[in-house]
Amino acid sequence: MAESGAWWRQGIFYQIYPRSFQDSDGDGVGDLAGIVHRLPYLLTLGVDAIWLSPIFTSPMADFGYDISDYTGIDPLFGTMEDFDALVRAAHESGLKVILDLVPNHTSDRHPWFVEARRSRDNPRRDWYIWRDPKPDGGPPNNWLSEFGGSAWQYDQATGQYYYHAFLAQQPDLNWRNPAVRAAVYDVMRFWLRKGVDGFRVDVIWHLIKDAEFRDNPANPGYIEGRPPHERILPRHSTDQPEVHQVIAEMRKVLDAFGDRVLIGEIYLPIERLMAYYGKDLSGAHLPFNFALLSAPWHARDIERIIAEYETALPPGAWPNWVLGNHDRPRVASRVGAEQARVAAMLLLTLRGTPTLYYGDEIGMRQVAIAPDGVRDPFEKNVPGIGVGRDGCRTPMQWNATPNAGFSTAAPWLPVAEDFMHENVVNLTADKRSILNLYRALIRLRKRHVALVAGHYRPVAAEGDLLLYRRDGEGEILTIALNLGDDPVSLATEGSGLEGQILLSTHLDRDGEPIHGTLDLRGNEGVVIGRSL
């Protein structure tokens, strides 16, 4: 059972995509020393923990999600000494450090897999998932790779297929093998001893596959133009009941090191997501809640999503919310620049731990990547339908100097064309910028316990208006969000909406009393406070 005062309940997480945050050595790719250099910025922003996408040794077929050494730092990002310096500097600044753990698969260049494919009787053979061909020589079943094509790759030397949920260069580990579990738990202990404060576990719902390798059923709701792997439902290749035992074992590894956090990447409907908290909350502390990443941006839809999530949570489980990440289009492009400010207020006033994605706080938009500049293997394998993730991974826009202050060299992905105006330096100087809104929201959250630990209470509303309250510790905060372009006027007498505005997304109404009527401009949100 998690403690009510745990740091990961109270804190705000910030995801860094290391390749794109800050380059310190002029090779066009971000690195660990660059992150250290930018820690003061993160402190002024007010976040409490940084989560780093993979920095381990890798051939970079999937930009670090194909690991060839779980306990090494890829030279592209620096050295182990650089990592130690980052952890030390972060901790001295009061920041926690969370690593990306990628246990579902390795690189095909990992020594484990190099051994496994040498022969059928190699001791490492059962560390991966091998199956004989069908009688016609074809793949063992109909499972599909999320990056296109069959999920089975034929190995000519040994006459069997191996399973890969993603690229053929990313063979899946066999998590039914106790030796695999022990090896990965040792990896976790290695980093925990180095002071890491927890892990975000990549595709955690993929870890266990059906023991009988049954075909997946067809997806009757498949929509043409969607990624081809969605033609089948991954009923037998993901979300198997036995996965929860694995997660409970991971949790025990962390618990042995004290106050650490286990976060799971899980793209599942809310009702199935809840199982990942584990029996008696012995699973992931925070199974990532991605509902807002694909939600229709309408008040009633958002209201329904929040209600369903809050209702589904097991007793004592702690919620969390996410607006963006390294796999999904930027929020400012999904909902528009004006609503991105309203979305920020939503994220930072809902009950639960919020995770920010680097650059969202300056309103970075999805960047169009020319066909000859595509780097993402997903887009290369499944071109023409807009699955590319490069556009949300472009370099952080620090200032108006060449390459946005990210690097002295041409960056690995192009910088957004608007960087001359939309950058940290300019937006810091603009008192009403989205960056200063994020800073104000984070300060407000830290000042008012009700926003961190208070109850969530929906308030009936209509049209484009979303209303809810957070109450506790002798205060009530009402959040009113206008998700539409048109102004909204709401009678407040007897509604409990009276008080004073603590913050507007326009950053121009602090202290304004609300009595009788609440008027919201189009695309405006406010936080109203009053004492109990």
Task: Tell me which residues are annotated as active site.
Answer: 202, 265
- Assess contact for 248 and 282: CB atoms under 8 A: yes
Phi-psi region of 303 (alpha: psi -120 to 50; beta: other; left: phi over 0): alpha
Strands 525-531 and 499-504: antiparallel
Residue among 316, 443, 433, 314 nearest 364 (CA) = 433
Three-class secondary structure of residue 100 per DSSP = strand
d(CA 6, CA 197): 12
Tokens of 326: 């390294």
- Assess contact for 223 and 188: CB atoms under 8 A: no
Tokens of 10: 């109270």
Residue among 46, 45, 53, 48 nearest 18 (CA) = 53
Burial annotation 94-107 (CB, 10 A radius, 16+ → b, else e): ebbbbbbbbbbbbb
CA 54 to chain centroid, in Å, comes to 13
HEC letters along 274-305: HHHHCHHHCCCCEECCCHHHCCCCCHHHHHHH
Tokens of 349: 């006033």
Residue among 24, 33, 76, 17 nearest 408 (CA) = 24
Q: What is the distance between the terminal CA atoms of the chain, rounded to a whole angstrom?
A: 31
- Assess contact for 487 and 523: CB atoms under 8 A: no
d(CA 117, CA 156): 10
Tokens of 58: 């890798």
> Within 10 A of 154 (CB to CB), how many other CB atoms are there?
15
Q: Give, in order, the Cα–Cα distances in Å from 307 to each of 133, 342, 467, 484.
A: 47, 19, 12, 21
Compute, in degrees rounded to 10, the torsion defined by CA atoms 116, 177, 181, 115. -10
- Assess contact for 479 and 349: CB atoms under 8 A: yes
In what helix (H) or strand (E) does residue 57 lie, and over which residues does it extend? strand 56-57
